[in-house]
Chains A and B, each alone.
Chain A
């Protein structure tokens, strides 16, 4: 009989602690959302390297919220300790109103600890290190004017800031929302953890969704703002860039940006370190590790834990909807200003610059450059804008890191 009672008690205990009793409706909604995202990542292959871990982190935290729980200390009396089988020895104690309490630490969840790399701003610069190893700044060095397009595409960030402030977000929150327009995942995460960590889930998911949707969002804007004649401009071949120039580039950029804008130094510094690994040609092993193993490991941690910030209670708010709308506006504005500045350059150079490369000024490497290539080819199948668009594209990475530095400095 006693055995049976024990069995029943155990089963009841398990059922009571199961999700069926502890989860709220928001969690179930988010479980549905995460499954849709998993479908998009696997079937539609929308940025699967990031979306898959993000979606799964989201799924995990809504099934088992304690996986993201922070460690804490609870105060127990001697009787409570005995009841919970907690050893008193070795625990710090304090006396409140004549009763002795023992400090009983509880440990945080798995993803809480992995999340510290996001929270403390460690992962995004390390991702930038890997990106630096994979980036060829040659097209930018050959045509430095493309930096103007990389800067123009950041205007969307600052205009969206205005929109966010007027919609009732605080300055810091508005800064984090605006940075979605930079179309650069690591930068968006870095800025958000510094300015508005409570919005991280929504902002990261908005940023990565729009980056995945670049081929759908950008072409209509590009076509609306340019004429057929402008789109069919064939640009001159870029000059070859010597190895020495490529080696000097990261060193010069990091000196310049870190001196003028120290807030951008962690991101730009790591980006340029990675690039120097690649271009110097003497640390091949390190360069390979940074762009493969390290980058992949960080991507797993970053994706999963960023997804895990999107618990139902956190994510299903009006703020998220506003962020998603504002993010889209930021993105469209960035694209539009890139193209408009491309048009200005088209006019100033007497028709030598194809304005379509301007839209690549939003980072989203290399997707945005491919979109320029694709839209250009629709007008003229023999036109190869890809390398020309890579200039503004990598300039956009530098540009959004600089914009991030400005935001951190002004509203941080």
Chain B
């Protein structure tokens, strides 16, 4: 058995003054360095976040000018007896898979005898419905 390298040594060799000085030194350095480094990080994140946001916002504005202004319509609009179904207007950022899933869901719940057309698919404005709240509540209460 060779535990010589990991035997506890409790060396109480420092005087009270030495202990106080050592503690004050560590507290001061620790406090200052941790805060300075993290403040620097805050500063830098703020700057580049600002720059990137500006850049993307100006890009978005250009796009918005080209596309027509959209009203806050319900996600799916039903229109019966439309002979040729043109492609629905899909908001940027919604993938084709999501469109396919929504279309499939609409097709499965709607009456097969009447023709259904999806006019547009948009993201909701961000406020959560009661059901979404209930779902989140359920998932964030693990203990």
Contact = CB atoms under 8 A, between A and B. Distances in A.
A151 B143 contact: no
Contacts of B38: 147-148, 150-151, 395, 398-399, 402
A208 B81 CA distance: 65
Interface string A390-403: 00000100110011
A158 B128 CA distance: 42
Contact of B10 (A154, A319, A374, A407): A319
B105 interface: no
A166 B23 contact: yes
B24 to A, nearest CB: 8
A165 B3 contact: no
Interface in B27-53: 27, 29-31, 33-35, 37-42, 44-46, 48-49, 52-53
B111 to A, nearest CB: 37
Interface stretch (A128-136, A249-257, A276-284, A351-359): A249-257
B74 to A, nearest CB: 22
Interface centre among B29, B31, B34, B39 (most CB of A within 10 A): B34
Given A151-B35, A256-B40, A370-B143, A245 B9 contact: no
A124 interface: no
Interface stretch (A8-16, A92-100, A378-386): A378-386
Contacts of B42: 144-145, 147-148
A64 to B, nearest CB: 11
Nearest to B11: A170
A88 B11 CA distance: 44
A403 B34 contact: yes
Interface residues of A, number: 71
Nearest to A245: B52
A72 B6 contact: no
B87 interface: no
B142 to A, nearest CB: 7
Interface in B103-132: 126
Interface residues of B, number: 47
Contacts, number: 151
Interface stretch (A79-87, A223-231, A290-298, A307-315): A307-315
B133 A382 contact: yes
B6 to A, nearest CB: 4
Contacts of B35: 148, 151
A198 interface: yes
A164 to B, nearest CB: 9
Determine the main DSSP class of B at the interface with A.
helix
B100 interface: no
B143 A154 contact: no
A242 B52 contact: yes
A197 B45 CA distance: 37
A314 B5 CA distance: 11
Nearest to B128: A384
Contact of B8 (A66, A70, A314, A386): A314
Nearest to B13: A170
A27 to B, nearest CB: 12
A168 B12 contact: yes
A329 to B, nearest CB: 14
Given A370-B140, A384-B136, A66 B1 contact: yes
23 contacts: A144-B45, A147-B39, A148-B35, A151-B35, A154-B34, A158-B26, A158-B31, A162-B23, A162-B27, A170-B9, A197-B5, A198-B6, A237-B126, A245-B48, A248-B52, A249-B45, A318-B10, A370-B143, A374-B143, A377-B137, A377-B141, A402-B37, A403-B34
Interface of A: 65-66, 68-70, 72, 140-141, 144-145, 147-148, 150-151, 154-155, 157-159, 161-162, 165-166, 168-171, 175, 197-200, 215, 237, 239, 241-242, 244-245, 248-249, 252-253, 256-257, 260-261, 309, 311, 313-314, 317-319, 370, 373-374, 377, 381-382, 384, 386, 395, 398-399, 402-403, 406-407, 410-411
